Amino acid sequence: FIFGNSTLLYKDIGSDAVNVYYPAYVHLSDYLRQHGIPSWSFSMAMGQDLFPYLGWLLITPVVWLPKIAIARALVYQHLLYVAVSGCFFSCFLRYRSINVQASFLGGILLAFSAYLCMGSCWFILAQEVVAFSFVLMATERAITSGRWSYLVPAVALSGLVSAFHLYLSAVLLVFYVPARLIELYSWKPIPILRTASLLALVALLAIGVAAIATIP
C-alpha cells in the first residue's frame, strides 16, 4: 500500500471503503473546488445537506486533494491516524506517571491494535481511536496539572467524527473522571466535585465549539 503496489480500498470484506467512504471523499473534494464550503448537494441520494460533513475537512485530510489523488493517499491518511493515536496514548500514559519505555510500548500497542487496523477500511474506527485517545490524554492532563486547554479541542474533535461520538465521549468521561479523582483524593467529596464540575464545564464549552457541525 505504501509504495503503490496496492490501493487501500477493499472490494470484499470491508467494501464500505470503496462503496461508501471513497465516493463521499471524492464528492466532497469536487464540491470544495466547485462551490466552497459544504452545503446542499443533489449528488447524494435525492439531495442532502453536506454541512454536517464540515468536520471531515479536519479529520479526513484527503478531501483537500484532487479526486485523482485520493485513492493513493488513503494509506498515508491511515498512517497519520496510527501515528497520532499512538502519540496521544503514549502522552496519556506519561501523564499517568508510567515510565518512558512502557508508555512508548502502550502507544505502539494501541496504534497497531486490531481495532485501529480495521480503520483501514472502516475509516471512522480509526478516527474515533484518535479522538478518544486525545480525550483521555487531555483529561489526564487537566486532572494532574490543572491545564484544561487541550480538553476543549479533544472533545470537540470527537464531535467532528460524528454527533454520536459526543455521547460516547460523555460516557467515557462520566466513568473515567470520577474513578480517577477517587484514586487521587480518596473519598473527599469537595475536591472531587470541584474538579469534576470544572471539567464538565470545559466539556460543555467543547460541545459549543463543535456545535457548528454537530447541530445540523
pLDDT digits (tens, 9 = 90+) for 18-54: 999 999 999 999 999 999 988 999 988 889 888 888 8
Residue with cell 500514559: 93
CA dihedral 55, 58, 61, 66 (to 10 degrees): 70
Q: Is the pLDDT of residue 191 over 90?
A: no
What's the rounded Cα separation, in Å, for the pair 25 and 17?
10
What's the rounded Cα separation, in Å, for the pair 137 and 93?
8
Q: Is the pLDDT of residue 83 over 90?
A: yes
Distance between start and end Cα atoms, the chain: 36
Q: Is the pLDDT of residue 95 over 90?
A: yes
pTM for this model (two decimals)? 0.90
The amino acid at 11: K
What's the rounded Cα separation, in Å, for the pair 107 and 111?
6
User: How far lies 5's CA from each of 2, 14, 72, 82, 96, in Å?
Assistant: 8, 19, 10, 21, 41
Residues written for the chain: 216
